[in-house]
Amino acid sequence: NSFFLTHLEQGLFDTREKAKRAIMAGIVYANEERIDKPGMKIEMDKNLTIKGEVLPYVSRGGLKLEKAIQAFSLDLKDRIVLDIGASTGGFTDCSLQKGASFVYALDVGYNQLAWKLRNDERVHVMERTNFRHVKPEDLVHGLPSFATIDVSFISLRLILPVLKTMLLTGGEVVALVKPQFEAGREDVGKKGVIRDKRVHERVLTEMIEFCLQEGYDVAGIDYSPIKGGEGNIEFLLNLRWQSNGEIGQKLADDTALEVVEKAHEQLKTGTL
């Protein structure tokens, strides 16, 4: 197996370009052996690390959910989780490591989920699946009390109303808000990157309002610890579904503005 296939399996980098740059910089290792050529052959079971740091999940995406679990004090023990936009499986892996009993790994793409998760009996793989067409009866192992959303090229506004039909009452959600897929075209800069704080604040404020109108309580707001593709700052929402037909409550102390300010301060440099 070449380095590229292995790094995609283990999800260390989002793109070949980033992987190549890291190799040229001499910071990528397979077990203890430094990788100096992108085409190097690597045994499948070797652990890839960056500067000697082992990634705890099959992809960096797991770090986003890990932060949400810590920041919002969430407990996944024995929960059934629905992972919408599973991709390589970072959120699925993190959920299992944090005690989830079962995960539906759902994605519109296919053949992306890491092998170890694909073969895990606690994971039900739902590939080539457009979430907007999913019905509660499709979730054959029981309805989830926890859902994670990390989707691209589609707005959360199309996901959250469908999720209500299958999330148990009192169920929690960690949703990644990606301004580049929520803002109007006129607000998205070159290469699909939004750098304007005002756009970030507006997108986040409007998304919070949308969640409340849909009947979700907004229990927490934070920013993702790693940037998305092309270096976009992204945000984390913790939602609770009460299913009582009423408008949701904003329980989070932080305002959208405070979180945006913090994100810009912390994530100024680099594009990781």
d(CA 51, CA 84): 31
Specify the higher pLDDT residue, 146 or 228.
Answer: 146
Query: Mapping DSSP to helix (H, G, I), strand (E, B) and coil, where does residue 5 land?
Result: helix
Mean pLDDT of 37-53: 68
Instruction: Tell me which residue of 246, 185, 247 sits closest to 213, measured CA to CA.
Output: 247
pLDDT for the residue 251? 92
Q: Is the pLDDT of residue 271 over 50?
A: no
Q: What digits encode the pLDDT tens for the residues 225-270? A: 988 877 889 999 999 998 888 999 999 888 888 999 999 988 874 4
Q: Where are the domains of the chain?
A: 3-54, 61-266
What is the CA angle 24-111-122, rounded to 5? 110
**CB contact set of 73 (below 8 Å; sequence gap of 6+):** none
In CATH terms, the fold of domain 3-54 is 3.10.290
Give the burial string for 39-68 (b: 16+ CB within 10 Å, else e).
ebebeeebebbbeeeebebbbbbbbbbbbb
Contact (CB, 8 A) for 147 and 171: yes
Q: What is the DSSP string of 94-145?
A: HHHHTT-SEEEEE-SS-S-S-HHHHT-TTEEEE-S--GGG--GGG-TT---S
Contact (CB, 8 A) for 68 and 236: yes
d(CA 223, CA 263): 6
Mean pLDDT of 4-27: 64
Q: What is the largest CA-CA distance in the chain?
A: 58
Going by their DSSP bridges, the two strands 146-149 and 172-177 should be labelled as: parallel
The torsion angles phi and psi of 108, rounded to 5 degrees, stand at -75, -25
Q: Architecture of domain 61-266 in CATH?
A: 3-Layer(aba) Sandwich (3.40)
Helix (H) or strand (E) holding 91: helix 90-97
Helix (H) or strand (E) holding 50: strand 48-50
Q: Indicate the average pLDDT of the chain.
A: 87
